[in-house]
Amino acid sequence: MNQYFADLHIHLGGSSEGTPVKITASRKLTFDAVINECVNRKGIDIAGIVDCACPKIIRDIEDLIKKGIIYELPEGGLLHKDRLLIIPASETEASEGNGRLSHHIGYFPYMKNIKEFSYIMKDHIKNQELSSQQCGLKCEELYQIIIKCGGIPVPAHAFTPHKSIYGKVTDSIKKIFSPETLLSIPAVELGLSADTEIADYLSELSEMSFLTSSDAHSLGKIAREYTVFEMERLNFTEFSLALRRNSLRRIISNFGMNPKLGKYHRSYCKKCDKVIQTPPPVLKCPYCQRDDNDFIIGVLDRLTQIKDREKSKSPDFRPPYFYQIPLEFVPGVSKRILDKLISAFGSEMAILNIATEEEIAEVVGETLAEKIMSARNGTLALESGGGGKYGFVKRDDKQEKFQF
């Protein structure tokens, strides 16, 4: 078996023609640019690009296939230079009514599958040229379409307070999915403000794999969180087996930022402009007693509210979750220093997972090497984030703000 680094939630900001795809994403995030970033800088082996149902992106992909830059594998997936597996995917917004919106990803094996999904969804989405659009369907209805089109459905950033299945829609997925549909959901994406320990307070997730992905809206944010797969080779069939832990294929580790750094880890009151740090669950502001839309319930607080276990309990198959801070956020690692490190070790994945502290020190010196190891090992002191504001890294009794 081989180990592969995967980021399964990457957005595109623009098409090859320069037209917008994901409005909030950088226009530099084109299909070509994502390939280059994953291969030549990040060291990512599997990329899930979640805007592939947009007609203009379908045209871009087909153009890249014609040019021989990528090719479709018999076992599913798109391969670039035997190095990068691209999984065509689509993020779609479902609605259960009363403002209960949530995002979901469908991963598809072949272009015919994503094209069929795109064709069906044109009757439900007003502007298909933009990604993550509301389709007006309930979660169950959307998942039935994904499954019918040969895709694998996965709840996206499942715990965030905005547009997620647990944060906004329900306290149990058994209430919105049929038993048959639940069997077709092999995994959930945790999101930046959650981790394995938090998610495993819910017993209904005990059979599901956990994915850590970046939800990247710019090139630099690719692989800020990532998942390590153990598979025989790069293709969609192997990926599908690994999600379900079949035939010895599996996920062997999750890497992500400490949830405290996430924008929605703790509850936040807009009126008081305070992240509430008292013991969870904090479901209304302790200062002004607000509990309306101006009070945003944090991930930790929401999970504490809906959990059905007194202690987090991971199943035997659950891999370890490692806290890391991406290299571009480490104090002292400028773009020039990062380029120097990538030149020395080949990719960010190599710097974060393979290079020793001594080897890194030979390139950037002992002081910076120590900082990189602290970020890599998740040993930095943190202050929790909330309400759309990222957490802080504490260094020498100071708080250093980073744009995560």
Peptide bond into 331 cis (omega under 30): no
Residues 6 or more apart in contact with residue 143 via CB below 8 angstroms? 104, 153, 177, 181, 184, 185
Task: Report the alpha-carbon angle 236-31-78, nearest 5.
Answer: 20
- The answer to whether position 332 is within a domain reads no
- Confidence tier at 133 by pLDDT (50, 70, 90): confident
pTM for the whole thing? 0.91
- The answer to whether position 156 is within a domain reads yes
For residue 265 the two structure tokens come to 């880890």
Does the pLDDT of residue 398 top 80, yes or no? no
Handedness of CA 44, 216, 403, 319 (dihedral sign): negative
Give the residue-averaged pLDDT of 338-361: 93
- Residue 376: strand pairing partners: none
- The answer to whether position 268 is within a domain reads no
- The answer to whether position 358 is within a domain reads no
Does the pLDDT of residue 399 top 60, yes or no? no
Look up the domain containing 152 and give its range.
2-259
Instruction: Tell me the per-residue pLDDT of 8-22, one tens digit each, with 9 for 90 and over.
Output: 999 998 888 888 888
Lowest mean pLDDT among 177-181, 331-335, 396-400: 396-400
Q: Who wins on pLDDT, 26 or 85?
A: 85
- The answer to whether position 372 is within a domain reads no
Instruction: Tell me the per-residue pLDDT of 177-219, one tens digit each, with 9 for 90 and over.
Output: 999 999 999 999 998 888 999 999 999 999 999 999 999 998 9
| Nearest Cα to Cα of residue 51 among 225, 216, 294, 233 | 216
Instruction: Tell me the per-residue pLDDT of 30-45, one tens digit each, with 9 for 90 and over.
Output: 999 999 999 999 999 9
pLDDT of residue 387: 56
CATH code of the domain in which 126 resides: 3.20.20.140
Contact 375, 330 (CB under 8 A): yes
- Confidence tier at 28 by pLDDT (50, 70, 90): confident
For residue 192 the two structure tokens come to 């930046």
CA distances (Å), origin 219, targets 56, 375, 402:
20, 20, 16
Does the pLDDT of residue 373 top 70, yes or no? yes
For residue 94 the two structure tokens come to 């479902």
Q: 186-216 b/e with 16+ CB inside 10 Å = b?
A: bbbbbbbbbbbebbbbbeebeebbbbbbbbb
Does the pLDDT of residue 308 top 50, yes or no? yes
- The answer to whether position 335 is within a domain reads no
pLDDT of residue 26: 81
Instruction: Report, in angstroms and rounded to the nearest whole number, the Rg of the chain calculated over CA atoms.
Output: 20
Contact 76, 237 (CB under 8 A): yes
Give the residue-averaged pLDDT of 108-131: 93
Does the pLDDT of residue 400 top 70, yes or no? no
The neighbour count for residue 276, using CB atoms within 10 Å, is 25
Calpha distance 20→18 (Å, rounded): 7
Contact 214, 208 (CB under 8 A): no
pLDDT of residue 262: 72
Q: What is the DSSP string of 203-259?
A: GGGTTSEEE----BSSGGGTTSSEEEEEESSSSHHHHHHHHTT-TT-EEEEEEE--G
pLDDT of residue 389: 58
Does the pLDDT of residue 341 top 80, yes or no? yes
Instruction: Tell me the per-residue pLDDT of 47-103, one tens digit each, with 9 for 90 and over.
Output: 999 999 999 999 999 999 999 999 999 999 999 999 999 999 999 999 998 889 999
pLDDT of residue 36: 95
* Structural domain total, the chain: 1
The torsion defined by the Cα of 375, 380, 384 and 386, in degrees rounded to 10, comes to: -20
Residue the block writes with tokens 């190891």: 373
pLDDT of residue 265: 85
Lowest mean pLDDT among 299-303, 331-335, 400-404: 400-404
Secondary structure (3-state) at 88: strand
- The answer to whether position 310 is within a domain reads no
- The answer to whether position 336 is within a domain reads no
Residues 6 or more apart in contact with residue 360 via CB below 8 angstroms? 341, 351, 368, 369, 372, 373
pLDDT-above-90 percentage for the chain:
70
Calpha distance 222→214 (Å, rounded): 6
